[in-house]
Amino acid sequence: MNEALLHTIWKYKLLGQNRFVGTKGEMIEIVAIGEHNQDSGPDFFSSKVLINDLLLVGNVEIHVKTSDWLKHKHQQNKVYDNLILHVVYEHDVQLPQNEQFNVSVVELKNIINPLLIEQYSQLELSKQTIPCGKSIASVSDIVWKSWMDRLAVSRIEEKTKRIEDLFQLCHQNYEDTLYILLSRNFGFKINNDAFELLGKSIPYSILKKHADQPIQIEALLFGTAGFLDELFSDAYPKLLQNEFEFLKHKYQVVPLKKELWKFSKTRPVNFPTIRISQLANLIGKQQSLYHILEKQPTIVDLKTFFNIETSAYWKTHYQFDTEVEESSKLLGESAFHTIVINTIVPFLFFMSERNSNLELKDYAIDLLAQLPAEVNTKTKAYTNLGVKTDSALESQAQIQLYDFFCSAKACLHCHVGQALLKKSF
């Protein structure tokens, strides 16, 4: 037995009753559990307890043994003086403080269903990737769906945290913030940091000045990225080089180091050179992504907007001066889905919170619900257990579940784990 389990049992009323007999024979009824305190101090604030028909409002403390009060030195801390109930698994000692302040004690040792403890032990000792794997299918659809909805929102909110920093860096300009966020996600994990640096190094306002000159946009991006600082044989990189030489001085651009960019362990279609050219194509569009999103376009409209490819040179190249067989270098459906998941949806959530516009949040969730589920090691851990995953909204929730609950064995804080414990009585 541990305190964490006792907290969960008490908080979620897993005892199957709210009336108890105290260690002195008093009749105790729990009217309101109160607020679970995750910091120092009593475990539950503002609880309401009826003791022998007298309603008390105050704090509740929970221990495995009554003597843990002394072990934790609560007797030396006045914050524990306003106690109305002491809940313990085993009552092993009479406390002077409980006697002094007339605090009732409830012992749970003979009340907790042994099956509940057995279920918890199975979760705690499980060696499976998903601790409740053998039982997850028995959880009701209502519990699973509501938990998935909460986890999906939680994951999106995690992604919005760093957007606030970008927003301040961009002097609270939404369009510039979205541009840097989009640039970062054009790195598709392996080059995320390098692409973010690129976005911060060449302002969006400068690039838009050259929106009708695709060669100049590529010159600015490739030059700022550090790819034009060498001798070339092909005419195209020489052209970019000449363009950048002028633009670099005009805008006081300081190029990044080419060594920042990673080419190994990634497919050629994902090389940063290809992604930079695609990004240049996107920036060159007449309308910016920000103004497109203001109109809340359909997923089909967004897909059309992102139907981009590289400039002609890159159809026969993956790197400068190295010709390959010609092929189309479209952004691709999978890349589009990744951008919606990691750029558009978090940005819409951010805008929703900044402007108190819940409609944007609903729109963002609807976009996720229309995308196919992601397939990776984490989502496979659930689909292999027979869990049906129909959309990116659900797969994002599963990734959050995997990262923060299953891998950490935080079953007591997981609604699935709690539902399984409730089935023990």
How big, in percent rounded to 5, are the helix, strand and coil portions of the chain? 55, 10, 35
Long-range contacts of 287-292 (CB under 8 A, 24+ apart): 288/175, 288/178, 288/179, 288/208, 289/178, 289/179, 289/182, 289/344, 290/174, 290/175, 290/178, 290/179, 291/175
- Domain spans of the chain? 3-112, 118-169+342-425, 174-288+298-331
**Residue 424: pLDDT above 70?**
no
Provide the token pair at 267. 């497919």
DSSP structure string for 169-238: HTTT-HHHHHHHHHHHHTTTTTTHHHHHHHHHHS-HHHHHHTTT-HHHHHHHHHHHHTTTSS--SSHHHH
Burial (0-12, 13-18, 19+ Cβ within 10 Å), 113: middle
**Residue 366: pLDDT above 70?**
yes
**Residue 425: pLDDT above 70?**
no
Report how far residue 159's alpha carbon sits from residue 156's, in angstroms, rounded to the nearest whole number. Answer: 5
Q: For 257-276, what is the mean pLDDT?
A: 95
User: Each residue of 77-86: b (16+ CB within 10 Å) or e?
Assistant: eeebeebbbb
Contact in structure between 405 and 133 (CB atoms under 8 Å): no
Of the candidate ranges 118-127, 219-228, 291-300, the one whose mean pLDDT is the lowest: 118-127
Report how far residue 243's alpha carbon sits from residue 230's, in angstroms, rounded to the nearest whole number. Answer: 14
User: Each residue of 3-42: b (16+ CB within 10 Å) or e?
Assistant: eebbbbbbbbebbeeeebebbeeeebebeebbeebeeeeb
Tens-place pLDDT, residues 293-343 = 999 999 999 999 999 999 999 999 999 999 999 999 999 999 999 999 999
Name the one residue in this structure whose structure tokens are 């909110």. 157
**Residue 245: pLDDT above 80?**
yes
**Residue 79: pLDDT above 90?**
no
Q: For 225-254, what is the mean pLDDT?
A: 97
Q: For 69-77, what is the mean pLDDT?
A: 91
Question: What does the pLDDT read at residue 78?
Answer: 87
